[in-house]
Amino acid sequence: MQFLKTLFWVLLAVIVVLFASRNWADVTLNLWGDIQADIKVPILLLIAVLIGFLPTWLIQRARIWSLNRRLGALERSRAAPVTAPPLEAEEEAPAL
């Protein structure tokens, strides 16, 4: 199974490299006002993917943080020492 996983990532990397090398051209972005920016197509796509990935990653990290806090609270409440009831004074038996 590890071989298939490695093969998948290698094929994906080859496809990305081929795409980037074939499309290495400038694209002009019209920003606000009269500002324009020239950027390469693969870099533009990488920026777009990262911008789309960021909210999902932040939500996941927040959820993991929340679950870790809840788990820690449960572990602390479970590990809290239980106080034993006070021992009653034992009646001493008369010495013979």
pLDDT in tens, 61-76: 999 999 999 999 998 8
CA–CA separation, 35 and 20 (whole Å): 26
Parse the chain into domains and list their residue ranges. Answer: 42-74
CA–CA separation, 20 and 25 (whole Å): 9
How distant, in Å, are the alpha carbons of 17, 39, 40, 41, 42 from that of 24? 11, 10, 6, 6, 7
Share of the chain above pLDDT 90, in %: 48
| pLDDT digits 0-9 by tens, 27-67 | 898 888 889 989 998 998 899 999 999 999 999 999 999 99
Which sign, positive or negative, has the C-alpha torsion 71, 68, 56, 2? negative
